[in-house]
Amino acid sequence: MRVAALPTALIRPFLPKDFPVDLAQGNEPAITVALESAKVAVAMQGVVHADSSIHLSKGATVTMRAIRPALVALSGVTVAAPIDAAITINALSLPAPKALTISGIGVDATIAASKTGGGAISATIGSGDGARVLAVESLRAAVKTEAIGTAVQAMVDTKIDGIVVKVSADARGLKTFAAKEIESAALLVDVQVSGITSERLAKEVPSAAKVIRELSAGNMDASFHYEGSMLDGKGRVAVKAVGVELRADAGLTPQSLTVDATVSADVSPALLAAAAELPMKLAAATHIDAKLDSVTMQRTVPWEFAAPASAHAVLRIPAVVMAGVPGVAADIGLTDTVLDANVTLGAKMAARGTLTSKIAAHSGNKRVPLAPLNAHFAWTDAGAAPASWTADADLDGIKVDGLAMLIDIDEAMRKEIGDGARLSVKGASIGAGGVSFEVESTLQRLKANLNGQFVDGVLSLANSAIDVTIPASSATEMLNALSSKPVENAPDAPNAKKEPPAWKQVSAVAVVATITNFRMRVGGDAAAPVTASAPVPAPGSGGPVTAATAPRVVLPAGFAAVVKLDMKPVMLVPTNGEPLTIESVAIAINAPGLEKPAVVKVVAAIAGAGGQRVPIALDATLTDWAGADGAVLLDRIRVDGTLKAARASTRVVGAVLGMGAELEEAVGPELSVDASVVSSGPGSATGAATVSSKFVNMKAPQVSLKNGVVSVVAAQPVTVDFIPSEPLRHRYLAAINPVFRDVRLADEKKPIVFTVQTLSYPIDGDRARLSGDMRLVVGDVLLDPNADNDVLNLLKVFQTKDQKPIDGVIDPLNVVIREGQLTYKDFEVGIEKQGKSWKTRLIFDGDIDLTKTPPFARSIAANYPLGSVAREVVSVLPNDDGGGSVANLINTASLGIGDALQLRIKMRGPLGEVNGKPVKLERKVKVIFDAKSMGGGVGNTVEGIGQKIGDLFGGNKNPKKGTKK
């Protein structure tokens, strides 16, 4: 170190007071300092004045090279490599020692730091998980003041991780640096930050990295400006990037800090998807504006503020379109959406606000208004207890065109619903996670008033009502779909035609459900849908409906329902027939729980155009119908109940069943039914029924059901007495023997008696498993000539032109059914009475397959006396034995042995209509010689002749010995 022109003022204190020489006299007070080393260089030159104040005369420089990281670490910053620093002091003034204060110091200096050897300084701030590694590319700071206590200007200019930061500050009135003077000093601070990339922000906040990357594609700039004192002033923070802008204005007073903030941002579909997992998405980018008004924080101590007591926020979205909204067919658009909320902060937080918007349906470029939305909400924190909240929302003045676009409503339904309906929803919290709610809808097709709760996964409704209306067009389509069925072709025909629609028109169907109580568990396996465990056998396909083959119906756990359904009058117009009116249907269901008995009551009334009515009353109790897991137990269900229908109009019932007037013609104008069933065990029951009408009366004292099979035992037979109307003859009796097609009773006071002695019939309709023993007692009848009767038109008595009925008698018929195969033998019919006997007696054997539709006669055979047959009809039939023609055979009657020769006629084919028309049976003739029919010696005389004739036409396949063919 070299010191030149050492000021005498610095030496004087070390000299005796009585030193005779005044060193200062005649000497210039000056100081020059120079320091040189390998890593440090100092150059300084100044003047010391008479009052001992010091001023640098030519400025000064301080250069430090390769400052070790350990030395830098003393400042709390860790660097990875040595750094260089250069300080330039343009001016410096120090007051005299007696008056030396910080406020009196004047300085104009700059400092610059850089990495030794060049490049960015790698600096680590903080430690542990909070440590941040920064790449400082440049750092320069400056301070300028004539006297710190009067005014100070400071500046920092740096570039860190590519981000340029510029800070300028101006402080005035620091004076003596007392606490009050520092707090009251005038400050002007300005900070500019530019070049902040989304990747840099994502690195700082990894949990929000996806959102930050989608927030803006460009760099972000930020600024901070403050003017005032530490106790009173105004500041502003601004952040701006492509599509994002934030601005916050703050007002500081000695008592509080108040902040107002606005955020404006463009939200893209990708940004929303990154911010939240939603079942819907943005159809296109949208814009939002948010404003936070007057958030005030009270000052507690000079540099600390209490949490704000309240805040007011407003969110505005000019227009947004959401796509993929569950349950709707179009996108949903919101315009002029405003969320206005007041938030109370502190120990007990609360929020209250409103939401308004205009909702519309969007499809392509088409936008159709739906309704304005108005909603309110309130939330309150209850400390240790669960928070509470309430909310309500209204859609008032719903536009049907917008609704139609969302849920695909046809034009007819739109007209019926109209505009102006309201949908209102209210909700409130119950304890921890529970919700109570009210829903009101005035839609013409779905009116509802629901009151319920959702607590601990259980949904419950009470004192609620739903009014559902199915439009006329939909009701007509649904009813026709239920009633349509294919018309049978000939057996095994490939394509089945469909009948014309049964119903020409059905009026709108309105059903009101009154819910006294309804409960079910929601979520997880508790709300399992109805599933099928195995295919259900089709009727006639074989296999009973059991727990293994029936659909497995599973209700939600905790299910309970006390519900009443009332249907308003419905007009039904069949395609063929008179209009009907369902006057009323009332169904009451009381199911208090899955494992508790359920009671079902049905009361209904249907009326015809002429005032005929069908009253129905059903009352049933179901026990063991479901398990605790919600599975319906078809194999264990127990049913106790009654069914009554007093004087029901058969014309109305026939119209409902699509039978036209057939049922009325079959049983008479009215029908009364009284049936009861009593369970006898799981899946088993016994029942009794009586049916009475003009033409049919039935008594079933005991019918049993077990394992899916209905059975009747001989000790309790089912008896039916009836007058054979045309529908009964054609549909049922003709399936036993075609002779019944044209039977009328000679005395209607003596009806036919049909007795079911035993029966085993599966309820799945599989006739291949049908078995039974039955007896039919007919008696004296009248037989009407009919060219389509394949049995009777073979007799010449039925070929007369006057078409008068022929007297006849039908002896009792015993029918045996085994596995769907019906057989009978020795069924005797007497025709054309002669005194006390009958001119012709036909004895039938039958073998009929009931599993076919219609039933198929494999064989119905009878012996016809040659003298009774209609020769012109029989002569054209084929010979079953393949011998000579039947016409030649008939001519043998002239030989006087016609009564000994009989024609065994065998018939085969479907017994009923195919494609709406009767089908002719296939008939074949076989010659049978019966010598007993000749009587006395004449029979013995002509026996040989008869054998020869029979042999001639193939009738005798095993001739006696000694005869020649």
| Sequence-separated (6 or more) residues with CB below 8 Å from residue 766 | 537, 539, 540, 541, 542, 543, 544
Annotate 709-765 with DSSP letters as a single string. Answer: EEEE-TTS-EEEEE---HHHHHHTGGGT-GGGGGEEES-TTS-EEEEEEEEEEETT-
Q: Are 86 and 54 in contact (CB under 8 A)?
A: no
Q: Regarding predicted confidence, which is higher, 184 or 635?
A: 184
Q: To which residue do tokens 């059991």 refer?
A: 546
Rg over CA atoms, the chain: 54
pLDDT higher than 90, residue 360: yes
Least confident of 238-242, 416-420, 476-480, 840-844: 416-420
- pLDDT reported for residue 160: 92
Q: Regarding predicted confidence, which is higher, 848 or 179?
A: 848
- pLDDT reported for residue 897: 53
- pLDDT reported for residue 788: 81
In whole angstroms, what is the distance from residue 17 CA to residue 450 CA? 107
| Per-residue three-class SS string for 785-841 | CCCCCCCHHHEHHHHCCCCCCEEEEECCEEEEEECCEEEEEEEEEEEEEECCEEEEE
Q: Regarding predicted confidence, which is higher, 566 or 94?
A: 566
pLDDT higher than 90, residue 744: no
- pLDDT reported for residue 137: 92
- pLDDT reported for residue 923: 84
| Sequence-separated (6 or more) residues with CB below 8 Å from residue 483 | 502, 503, 658
pLDDT higher than 80, residue 964: no
pLDDT higher than 80, residue 686: yes
Least confident of 254-263, 555-564, 786-795: 786-795
Q: Are 501 and 484 in contact (CB under 8 A)?
A: yes
Encoded amino acid at 334, one letter: L
In whole angstroms, what is the distance from residue 661 CA to residue 651 CA? 6
Q: Which among 814, 807, 802, 805 is positioned nearest to 776, based on CA atoms?
A: 814
In whole angstroms, what is the distance from residue 704 CA to residue 710 CA? 6
Q: Regarding predicted confidence, which is higher, 662 or 552?
A: 662
pLDDT higher than 50, residue 813: yes
Least confident of 434-448, 460-474, 815-829, 937-951: 937-951
- Answering whether pTM is above 0.85, one says no
Q: To which residue do tokens 């042995």 refer?
A: 897
The dihedral sign for the CA sequence 630, 631, 637, 643: positive
Mean pLDDT of the chain: 83
Q: Which two tokens stand for residue 177?
A: 């640096």
**890: confidence class by pLDDT, cuts 50, 70, 90:** low
**895: confidence class by pLDDT, cuts 50, 70, 90:** low
Q: Which two tokens stand for residue 697?
A: 């009366």
In whole angstroms, what is the distance from residue 742 CA to residue 831 CA? 13
In whole angstroms, what is the distance from residue 828 CA to residue 834 CA? 17
Which H or E run includes 487? strand 486-487
In whole angstroms, what is the distance from residue 229 CA to residue 184 CA? 5
Question: What percent of the chain clears pLDDT 70, i.e. is strictly above it?
Answer: 85
Nearest 5°: CA angle at 88, between 87 and 94? 100
Q: Which among 855, 846, 826, 840 is positioned nearest to 907, based on CA atoms?
A: 846
**882: confidence class by pLDDT, cuts 50, 70, 90:** low
**167: confidence class by pLDDT, cuts 50, 70, 90:** very high
pLDDT higher than 70, residue 538: no
DSSP conformational letter for 655: H
Q: Are 699 and 673 in contact (CB under 8 A)?
A: no
Q: Which among 524, 531, 473, 542 is positioned nearest to 503, based on CA atoms?
A: 473
- pLDDT reported for residue 884: 56
State residue 836 phi and psi, 5-degree precision. -100, 5
| Per-residue three-class SS string for 2-52 | EEECCCHHHHHHHCCCCCCCCCCCCCCCEEEEEEECCCEEEEEEEEECCCC
Q: What is the mean pLDDT of residues 916-926?
A: 82
Encoded amino acid at 404, one letter: A
- pLDDT reported for residue 696: 92
In whole angstroms, what is the distance from residue 935 CA to residue 928 CA? 16
Annotate 830-885 with DSSP letters as a single string. Answer: EEEEETTEEEEEEEEEEEEETTSSS-EEEEEEEEEETTTB-HHHHTTSPBTTS-S-
In whole angstroms, what is the distance from residue 625 CA to residue 639 CA? 9
CA 425 centroid distance within chain: 20
Least confident of 272-286, 531-545, 566-580, 653-667: 531-545
Q: To which residue do tokens 């264990």 refer?
A: 636
Q: Are 710 and 763 in contact (CB under 8 A)?
A: yes
Q: Is 817 exposed, middle or buried (0-12, 13-18, 19+ CB in 10 A)?
A: buried
| Sequence-separated (6 or more) residues with CB below 8 Å from residue 546 | 634, 635, 707, 708
Q: Are 460 and 452 in contact (CB under 8 A)?
A: yes
pLDDT higher than 70, residue 858: yes
In whole angstroms, what is the distance from residue 357 CA to residue 330 CA? 18
- Compute how many other C-beta atoms are within 10 angstroms of the C-beta atom of residue 48: 21
Q: What is the mean pLDDT of residues 376-383?
A: 88
In whole angstroms, what is the distance from residue 342 CA to residue 315 CA? 12
pLDDT higher than 70, residue 887: no
**Secondary structure of the chain: what % helix, strand, coil (to 5)?**
15, 55, 30
Q: Which two tokens stand for residue 795?
A: 């007799």
Residues 246-277 as b or e (16 or more Cβ within 10 Å = b): bbbebbbeeeebbbbbbbbbebbeebbebeee
pLDDT higher than 70, residue 30: no
pLDDT higher than 70, residue 20: no
pLDDT higher than 90, residue 387: no
Q: Which parts of 288-442 fold into alpha helices (H)? A: 400-407, 411-417
| Sequence-separated (6 or more) residues with CB below 8 Å from residue 242 | 216, 217, 218
Least confident of 46-60, 302-316, 917-931: 46-60
**551: confidence class by pLDDT, cuts 50, 70, 90:** low
pLDDT per residue as tens digits for the range 489-522: 444 445 555 667 888 899 989 999 999 999 988 8
Least confident of 239-253, 633-647, 894-908: 894-908
Which H or E run includes 265? strand 256-267
Q: Are 87 and 135 in contact (CB under 8 A)?
A: no
Q: What is the mean pLDDT of residues 409-431?
A: 84
Residues 910, 912, 917, 922, Cα dihedral to 10°: 30
Nearest 5°: CA angle at 242, between 241 and 244? 60
- pLDDT reported for residue 147: 87
**865: confidence class by pLDDT, cuts 50, 70, 90:** confident
Nearest 5°: CA angle at 729, between 724 and 733? 105
Q: Regarding predicted confidence, which is higher, 52 or 156?
A: 156
| Sequence-separated (6 or more) residues with CB below 8 Å from residue 833 | 807, 808, 809, 839
- pLDDT reported for residue 484: 65
In whole angstroms, what is the distance from residue 247 CA to residue 222 CA? 10
- pLDDT reported for residue 374: 96
pLDDT higher than 80, residue 273: yes
Q: To which residue do tokens 């941002």 refer?
A: 265
pLDDT per residue as tens digits for the range 95-127: 877 767 778 888 999 999 999 988 999 999 888
